[in-house]
Amino acid sequence: MRLILLGAPGAGKGTQAEMLMKYYKIPTISTGNIFREHISNKTDLGKQATKYMDAGQLVPDELVIELVKDRITRDDCKNGMIFDGFPRTIPQAEALDKMLNDLGISIDYVIDVDVPDENIIERMSGRRVCSKCGASYHTKHKKEKLEGNCDECASTLMQRVDDKEETVKNRLQVYHMQTKPLIEYYNKQNKVLYIDGTADVIKVHDSIMKLLGEN
């Protein structure tokens, strides 16, 4: 199975990707998580990416595309993959189509997780992420078992720098201008599944599974 999760920042793409990854036993490719890893390892790529991310802007296409090109040819992607936060622009989507085509494969479905802007700010202010593995929690909607610690790896939870209200507003603007047009792009390929992302986490997951024909 090869899936793309589309949706505004905070729509729940990462949360749903984690659940789909466990079900299908295929990796999630989250360009945001890869960049955050580079930032914490203080690599050159991390240094370039951080100024865009902290401002709520997109990292330039050429940097993102190179990163994904390298990632999808690894062994663990043989049985499929879930893209979370990639592609985010038309040039990225075109580059992905070409990369996959060169490998003789293609995307099966694009899941559009729809959440109105007004819900996003509340979600972002309550989000906590694991400082080590990137797993995502929420102070109200998805609490960790032991306060302040990741359920998966027991590392400390933290708030993301780009979850400040002003930055979230910039990210939403960028989403509407540069990423939303991808729905039309993939509609032309007849691949879009629409999901109401305002329901609770389990209900959203169940709706996705149903549309994928899994229950």
Residue positions annotated with a catalytic role: 13, 88, 127, 160, 171
Residue 204 near ligand AP5 by CB under 6 A: yes
State the nearest-atom distance from the C-beta of 104 to ligand AP5, in Å. Answer: 23
Residue 205 near ligand AP5 by CB under 6 A: no
Identify which of 162, 100, 118 has the alpha carbon closest to the alpha carbon of residue 11. 118
Q: Determine the Cα–Cα distance for residues 178 and 137; give it in Å rounded to an integer.
A: 27
State the nearest-atom distance from the C-beta of 62 to ligand AP5, in Å. Answer: 10
- Using the minimum distance from each CB to ligand AP5, give the nearer residue, 104 or 118: 118
Q: Tell whether the torsion through CA atoms of 156, 161, 162 and 163 is positive or negative.
A: positive
- Using the minimum distance from each CB to ligand AP5, give the nearer residue, 26 or 129: 129
Residue 38 near ligand AP5 by CB under 6 A: no
Residue 141 near ligand AP5 by CB under 6 A: yes
Q: Which residue is nearest to ligand AP5 (CB)?
A: 32
Owner of token pair 């509407």 = 176
Binding mask 73-112 for ligand AP5 (x = CB under 6 A): ------------xx-x---x--------------------
- Chain positions 110 to 129 lying near ligand AP5, rule: CB under 6 A, are 123, 126-127
Length, in residues, of the chain: 215
State the nearest-atom distance from the C-beta of 44 to ligand AP5, in Å. Answer: 16
Binding segment for ligand AP5 (CB under 6 A), chosen from 72-80, 147-155, 182-190, 196-204, is: 196-204
Residue 137 near ligand AP5 by CB under 6 A: yes
Q: Determine the Cα–Cα distance for residues 82 and 26; give it in Å rounded to an integer.
A: 7
Residue 142 near ligand AP5 by CB under 6 A: yes
Residue 41 and residue 48 in contact, taking contact as beta carbons nearer than 8 Å: no
Query: What string of DSSP letters covers 22-65?
Result: HHHT--EEEHHHHHHHHHHTT-HHHHHHHHHHHTTPPPPHHHHH
User: Which residues face 3 on adjacent strands?
Assistant: 82, 109
Q: Can you tell me which of 12, 109, 110, 150 binds ligand AP5, judged by CB under 6 A?
A: 12
Q: What is the CB neighbour count within 10 angstroms for residue 42?
A: 9
